[in-house]
Amino acid sequence: MPTPDDETAPNTDLVQLVAAAADLCRRPLRHAVLPARVEEDTAAAPDMEADGAADGKPDEADDCCLRLEVRSPDGERRPQDDLELELYRSGDGLNLTLAWADDPDRPMLWHGQHPVWMRPDTGERCERPQDGAALEALARRLRALMAPAPA
């Protein structure tokens, strides 16, 4: 269990937490978690650190964007299944968006208190896509895992 003094622990914990949750919710796919847009501009890579609470959970995550790169159980890359995850705080709540990384025409999921599927070009609500249930499960799990511990 990391300690609050360990500066690398929150970053590592966040990556491991997201990867484990994605592996569980999107079985049998396997996930690697990377900062989003690293290939575009490494100087502009998002800050993935979060303040670590004594229990090792992020106490308050900074806004961050991550890319979930997907492999089949056999280890073959599946870029068509890659996701982009954005985590951000709004008031006291954690909100997130999940979108397919390489298909800008597919609906994206916003999850705050409840899931909302949106068209990426207009932001209008739309129906959940056929393979969207796993993304909703991932969003719920991440929100539950990253919720601050009650005082």
pLDDT of residue 80: 95
2, part of any domain = no
The pLDDT tens digits for 18-66 are 999 999 999 999 999 998 764 444 433 444 444 433 344 444 446 889 9
Residue that is written with structure tokens 């790169």 in the block: 69
Residue at 1 is within a domain: no
Cβ burial of 2 (10 Å; 0-12, 13-18, 19+) is middle
pLDDT greater at residue 6 or residue 135: 135
Residue 108 pLDDT class (50, 70, 90 cuts): very high
- Single pTM value for the model: 0.75
Q: Which domain holds residue 121?
A: 9-146
Domain count of the chain? 1
